[in-house]
Structure 1
Amino acid sequence: MSPFILPRTTPQVSVHLTEDLGRDQLLSFPAFQNWLSTLQHSLSLQKNKDHTFNSAPYRLRKIDIQSVDFFGGGRVGFVKLKAEVSNDHGEKLPGSVFLRGGSVAMMLILQPDDTPEKSENEKQVILTLQPRIPAGSLSLAELPAGMLDDSGTFAGGAAKEIEEETGLKIAENELTDLTSLGLPSDDESCENLQRAFYPSAGGCDEFVPLFLWQKRVPRDTLQQWQGKLTGLREHGEKITLMLCPLEKLWQCGGRDSKALAGYALYQGLKSEGKI
């Protein structure tokens, strides 16, 4: 398939497609749009005299689409590409990219309602145990999470995923955005990055805002969550719930970047009185 030139690019950026992916499909793919606009903005900052690369700025010169996975209905799901980003001295930056878009994660904390108010005693975090074939696991312990769709808010996406993975119906206004609270309000780099954490920025565009929800429940209800089967069974989800003491989250969820990020954000924000 013949390459095409990305609209409104100087210098011109050529894009080489795979046979199963069309120009309009790529340009309308939200993850591609977000990645490209973010990268182009960051590259534009090199014109500032105090930028590290000001004397030999890098430019996006070419994009080679290597493969694409489609979801139901022919919707583009994942794209693997290689971007050529180099300066006039021939120096290149690593440009292998797996585009999948944003996800959302939830830190759900339950506490027996017979414990003292405003105490941290006996808080339990809900983890999911489910198959994660890319990790070679059939039972990986992690915070509930899911891919963001193309519409709605991050908080709305979190509420939807919570219901799908745990069965809990939670209103958006009951959620606290831990990542947004934890990040500096003024980003000195001025790069238009998401207010989220990036679990694998060396090869993937995925960003993950992380939300907190806390609720006091009867002690006998709390015990019913241990080992509960949830998930969208008709979509092949095989999820078992696990309760982990909050103070042990860094161990129980030690293989999950979401759990480790959630624990660090919770402890940091708690120490500063922000939650």
Structure 2
Amino acid sequence: MAEGLISDTDVSVTLIDGLSEEELLQFPAFKNWLQTLKSNLALQSNPSHEYHKSPYALRDIKIQAIDRFGKRIGFLKLVATITNAEGDFLPGSMFLRGASVGMMILLQPDDLPADSQDEKHVLLTVQSRIPAGGLKFVELPAGMVDRGSFAGTAAKEIKEEIGLEIPEGELLNLSELAIPEGEEEETCPRAMFPSAGGCDEYIPIFLHEKRIPREQLGEWSGRLTGLRDEGEKITLKLVKLDDLWREGARDAKALAAWSLYEGLRRTGRI
């Protein structure tokens, strides 16, 4: 293990063997988490802030473990010590993995009137999710983000998973519509956090609506797709939009998408 100070700060960091400070600071998930935390801790200087009288500060960071995807860091486990002058602390044990994307694909037969809201179906995937202990986990299509825009990454993931071409210009970010920029004091990604108590992962939810031939709806259901060379086996599942809350009840992305879509439609924002 090695110990030192994070560049340009007085925060002590304890590394593990095989991990340098430079590599740690270049890991996007760590860099984004640290920047966000520091920005929001700085807000305590405002007299109206709840913690102004006894502000919290980040004292040290202890890296506990990393998983690599090839040579690069994929997942990182750490504990951050955040205390105030009275010795009170904020929980700081976490797993960093970075942002993901979720895609709500609404398909509708093209023989219906253009303004019809009938027969809308959501495309879901069924695949193994070993951390959940399941081999047939039903969820919204999703993927991790490494670089590039969320929209571009989302479209690439969907093409890889189900073979559907989605132009970036035809994507609608439901999360950003529901969380207008600049309305909140704290700096935080405009997205859904499925497990904010222990993980940094956040997931913006995108919408893509497409009208397709009625017979194609049947062709896509149950087709085995996926990235075979990466061990993925993905079966498609088409469900009625009205049933998404039930069919995707285990998946935070599906529930978030259904809620965002219904709320934004009800308020006339989509």
TM category, shorter: over 0.9
Separation in 1, partners of 2:20, 2:7: 15
Q: Higher mean Cα deviation, 180-189 or 197-206? A: 180-189
Mapped contact 2:2–2:17 kept (Cα < 8 A)? no
1:167 counterpart residue number: 163
2:179 counterpart residue number: 183
Q: Match for 2:53 among 46, 55, 70?
A: 55
Separation in 1, partners of 2:197, 2:79: 13
Shift of 1:216: 0.8
Separation in 2, partners of 1:177, 1:234: 30
TM-score (norm 1): 0.96
Mapped contact 2:2–2:16 kept (Cα < 8 A)? no
Deviation sequence 1:89-131 (CA, Å, 0-9, x none):
1101000110000001100011011122222111110000000
Shift of 1:195: 1.3
Q: How many residues are aligned here?
A: 270
Q: Percent identity?
A: 55
Counterpart amino acid of 2:5? Answer: I
1:92 counterpart residue number: 89
Shift of 1:184: 3.2
SS at match of 1:3: strand
Separation in 2, partners of 1:172, 1:25: 32
2:118 counterpart residue number: 121
1:27 aligns with 2:25: yes
Counterpart amino acid of 1:138? Answer: L
Deviation sequence 1:67-92 (CA, Å, 0-9, x none):
000002x1011000000000011101
Deviation sequence 1:147-204 (CA, Å, 0-9, x none):
0012x11100110011011111111001000000111343332x22111111110000
SS at match of 2:180: coil
Shift of 1:4: 1.1
1:256 aligns with 2:251: yes
SS at match of 1:114: coil
Separation in 1, partners of 2:146, 2:133: 26
Counterpart amino acid of 1:262? Answer: A
2:40 counterpart residue number: 42
Shift of 1:2: 2.5
Separation in 2, partners of 1:99, 1:271: 35
Separation in 2, partners of 1:239, 1:224: 15
SS at match of 1:38: helix
Q: Match for 1:135 among 132, 137, 142?
A: 132
TM-score (norm 2): 0.98
Mapped contact 2:128–2:135 kept (Cα < 8 A)? yes
Q: Match for 1:202 among 197, 200, 206?
A: 197
Q: Over aligned residue pairs, what C-alpha RMSD do you find?
A: 0.9
Gapped regions of structure 1 (runs ≥ 5): none
SS at match of 1:248: helix
2:79 counterpart residue number: 82
Shift of 1:225: 0.9
2:8 counterpart residue number: 8
Separation in 2, partners of 1:165, 1:2: 41
1:104 aligns with 2:74: no
1:158 aligns with 2:154: yes
Gapped regions of structure 2 (runs ≥ 5): none
Separation in 2, partners of 1:208, 1:99: 14
Counterpart amino acid of 1:7? Answer: S
SS at match of 2:157: helix
Alignment of 1:208-227 (within 5 A): 208-227=203-222
